[in-house]
Structures are given as C-alpha cells and as structure tokens.
Amino acid sequence: MLALDGGAPSSYGGATATGGANALCQPPALIAPGCVLARPDGTEAECNGLDDDCDGSVDEGCPCTAGDVQPCFLGPPARRHIGACVDGTQTCQRGVEFAAYWGDCTGGIRPSEEKCDGLDNDCNGCADDLDGCKAQFTCPGPNDPRTPAGTPLSPYTIHGHDFFAGAVRTWSWSIQGGPCDTVMPNTPSFTLMGETSETLTFTPKLSGDYTVTMTVTPEVGAPFTCSWIVHIVGPGLRIEMCYPESSTQDLDLYVKQPGHKTPWFTGQAQTSSALDQCSWANCEANLRGNLLDPPLPAGTPFPRANWGYPNSPLSLCANTLQGAVWQGLGYCASPRLDIDNNLSEATGVPENINVDAPKDNEVFRIMVANFSGTDAHPLVNVYCDGRRVATIGAAPDRLTNFVGSNGGAAIGALWRVADVTSHVSGTQTTCTVNVVHPPGASSGFDVTVNDPRY
C-alpha cells in the first residue's frame, strides 16, 4: 500500500517527513516521497524515468525503442536529485513476443539509511538528521568540488584525507564501471593504483559513470563506507565497442562520414581504407598505410581521414595508449580512434571512435567488422557529451551468428549497428540513435557476410 501522507513505502527505507530526532529539520523542510496511486493496468503513471507509484520498478509498460538508454531514478520520485541521490540508467530491450520494454534501472545512488556522515543519505532534504549526530567524516555527494568530472584515459586521483582527516588504520577502494565491465569482467574498463592506500588513482578507459566506494577503518572508532559517482566525460560524440572475445580475436569499429553512403569496402576488407570512414587504418595516431592494397607509391604519405573538423586539444589524447605519438604530432585529430585492440599494447582494450565537435544534424553510421574471426558478441555504447544514450548488443539482446570468413578477398561479417544524429546547441551536443535493421525489417540486426553494402 502506498503511503501518500509523507511516509515512504518500506521498499525504500529512510526517514519520513516527521523530522530528524535531533530537530535539525522539521516539516515542511523535509521532502515527502511524492508517490502516486498505481494504475490498474500496472503501467507506470508517467513515462519519465521515475518510479511514480513507488513499486520498485521504473517506467514499466512505457513505450521505448530497443537500444535507447535513459536516466532513471529508483527511489521516491520527489527525492530525485536531492542529497546523495544520483540517477542511474536503464536500457530499452527488444521484446520477443511483446513490444520493446525498459530494463532494470541500474547504477546511480538511491536513498539509503541516514548516516552521520555530512550527507543527506535518504534524500529527504536534511543531512544527518540523527539524534546527537556530530559527523567525524564527510562523504561526497553530487557536485562536490572534491569529486569533479574526469576525462577518458586520463588518470583520476582521489585523496582519502579529503573526507576523513583523522588517523587511519586501513584504506580500501573499489570501482564499478558500466556495461563493458559486464561483458568483459576480466579486463575492466579502468586500471587502479593504490587500492589499499590513502590515495587512489584510477584511469578510466571509457566515458560514463563510475561508482567509487571508499572504506576506512580509523584508529579509533568503527569502520565507515562512502560511495559516490564520478562522471567521466568526453566531448561531442564518442562511440565505444567491447566484446568478451577481445583478448583472443580482433573485431574492428568503423564510423562513416556524414553524408556518405558508399560501400564499406571495394576490395579486400583488411587492407581497404576509404577516407570517408574512420577506422584503424586512417584514424589512429599511427597510420599504417603500408597495409593498403594496392600499396601507395614509395614516399607517398598515407592520408588521415579529414572530415573538415578542427583539430582537438592535445589534452584529449595525450594520455592514451598512443599518447606519445599524438604528442609528437602536437594535436588530437577528429575523427579519432583511440586504439585498435589488435595492437600488442591494447589486447582486450575497448575501441573508441571520437568526433569531438560534430555539427548540428549530422548522421554517423556505426559498423563493426569481423573479417575472419569466429563467432563474437560485440556491444556498442554511444555517448554524447559524456552521457550514454544507447547500448546495442547487450544481453538479452546479444548479437548472434556474427562469424567472419576466410579467404584473401573476403569481406567477412559486417554489422551495421546504428545511425547517430547529432543535435548541437551552443556547446551542448545531444544525439538521437536509430538501430539499423535488415532491409525491409522493423527489428533484428543488419548483419551480412561478404557483402560491403552501406
């Protein structure tokens, strides 16, 4: 039964609107849950990324397009963006017999039991509303200057003494990443240094939200834990591709230049490098023109994909696996492939293609190629200004029967993933993503073997 008089349903916990026991906050300062009556048909009252009826699910029964990702909040609706609370995300999944549906709301920070830590844990509008609370440590919440946003592939340092200045017996840190960490648990999307020291340095390989958990055992007093979200933000359009087989076989990520609908290849795929598509051959820091067929004349510089965008600041790629090469060039190219995971220094690393400053209303087609490998299950994430807007190929909607082919002139298997349309207003970039289906179909993945069509 819903509590409509200010108390939260028991599934959420936390303080109700009766005020803190130490009278730090009193009505009407406290924020009520804001629940609404459940609909008889079980469909969410509003399709807004909220659990409007406080039944523990978000946007059930609401229409969506498979692959789309939206922010969501799994807590009393009125407590969204209050105190410690931060949105998670949910992905629209294909229905087999029914319409597409929103999956679980995961990640983020939802209301929890109030603690004496300087933070409004239950998101009721009042921090530390506990009898006799005198916080000895302070956990960070949203927009805390101690936990600013970071950038992909750049080291991010956190100092534990920013949150607790007393004597400490032990420190412990952990990080939880995004969808790629689900499909590649043995090669996480980040590296860690200092997991048991006062200072943690983690280097995120991808965009998105990373959940940081710090556990401290003081010399005096009980252990305590803080968890918060660090936003890793790359500018413009950023496309990432990961797959569980990446340590043993090689897939390749391609993005077609806006306004071009030419075939992906006109000859042997592995040595083809049309400049109207960004790939391993023409978008990395190292350009490997010696692999072209036919080869370029001796002494001819191999051209880089140039779509008319200005070069980007060196800071965006100076710390990547090919950062030294970019530093030698003195700029970051756009479009740009961070790394081809076929290289020895990048085994298992997700591939990323970046267009740092797309123009308004441009359409980019994403393609993944499996030239000669065995069956693989790639997942593609699309980010715009650091916000994940689409995830395609994640369970339960995994890509199947994606098998390459053998033979020198073969094209292999090509997955035409999605078309991404950029929407630019000032310095803000948002995107619309449309999954590509087989010709004449309204569902399914567009995969061919030895067919280079757009």
Look at 350 and 347; give whichever has higher pLDDT. Answer: 350
Report the length, in residues, of the chain.
Answer: 454
More confident residue, 250 or 173: 173
The confidence band for 37, taking pLDDT boundaries of 50, 70 and 90, is confident
Q: Are 237 and 364 in contact (CB under 8 A)?
A: yes
pLDDT, one tens digit per residue, over 110-141 is 999 999 999 999 999 999 989 889 899 999 99
Domain ranges, ordered by start, for the chain:
1-134, 156-232, 237-449
Tens-digit pLDDT profile for residues 203-225: 998 899 999 999 999 999 999 99
Tell me how far apart the alpha carbons of residues 183 and 144 are, in angstroms, rounded to a whole number: 31
269: confidence class by pLDDT, cuts 50, 70, 90 = low
CATH architecture of 156-232: Sandwich (2.60)
The tokens for 401 are 């029967």
Has residue 388 got a pLDDT over 60?
yes
Instruction: State how far the Cα of 262 lies from the Cα of 52, in Å rounded to an integer.
Output: 47
- What are the backbone angles phi and psi of residue 291, rounded to the nearest 5°? -90, 0
In contact, 86 and 140? CB cutoff 8 Å: no
pLDDT at 299: 61
Q: Encoding tokens for residue 288?
A: 């490997």
- Taking only the tens place, the pLDDT of each residue in 22-36 is 456 766 668 889 999
Distance CA 25, CA 46 (A): 30
103, 204, 188, 318 alpha-carbon torsion, rounded to 10°:
130
pTM: 0.89
Report pLDDT for 179. 92
pLDDT at 213: 97
Chain position carrying tokens 């992905």: 91
Q: Are 135 and 100 in contact (CB under 8 A)?
A: no
Across 420-446, average pLDDT = 94
Categorize the per-residue pLDDT at 187 as very low, low, confident or very high, splitting at 50, 70 and 90. confident
Of the listed ranges 138-142, 302-306, 328-332, 386-390, the least confidently predicted one is: 302-306
Query: Could you give the CA distance from residue 37 to residue 42 in angstroms, rounded to a whole number?
Result: 11
- Is the per-residue pLDDT at 295 higher than 80? no
Higher per-residue confidence, 348 vs 124: 124
Output the pLDDT for position 142.
95
d(CA 432, CA 355): 15
The one-character DSSP state at 136 is S
DSSP 8-state code for residue 360: T
For residue 406, pLDDT over 70 is answered with no
Exposed (0-12), middle (13-18) or buried (19+): which is 25, by Cβ within 10 Å?
buried
Alpha helices in 67-184 (DSSP H): 179-183
The H helix count followed by the E strand count for the chain is 2, 20
Q: What are the beta bridge partners of residue 433?
A: 420
* Alpha-helical segments (H) within 74-224: 179-183
What share of the chain in percent tops pLDDT 70? Answer: 87
**Residue 12, token pair as written in the block:** 């959420």
Residue 390 has pLDDT above 80, yes or no: yes
- With beta carbons less than 8 A apart as the criterion, state whether 222 and 201 touch: no
Q: What percent of the chain has pLDDT over 90?
A: 65
Position with higher pLDDT, 246 vs 160: 160
Instruction: Inform me whether the pLDDT recorded for 264 exceeds 60.
Output: yes
What is the average pLDDT across 249-264? Answer: 94
Structure tokens that stand for 212 in this block: 């940081």
* Residue 82 confidence class, pLDDT cut points 50, 70, 90: very high
How far is 289 from 11, CA to CA, in rounded Å?
59
- In the structure encoding, which two tokens stand for residue 263, read together? 């075939």
Question: Rounded CA gap, 228 and 213, in Å?
Answer: 7
pLDDT at res. 13: 40
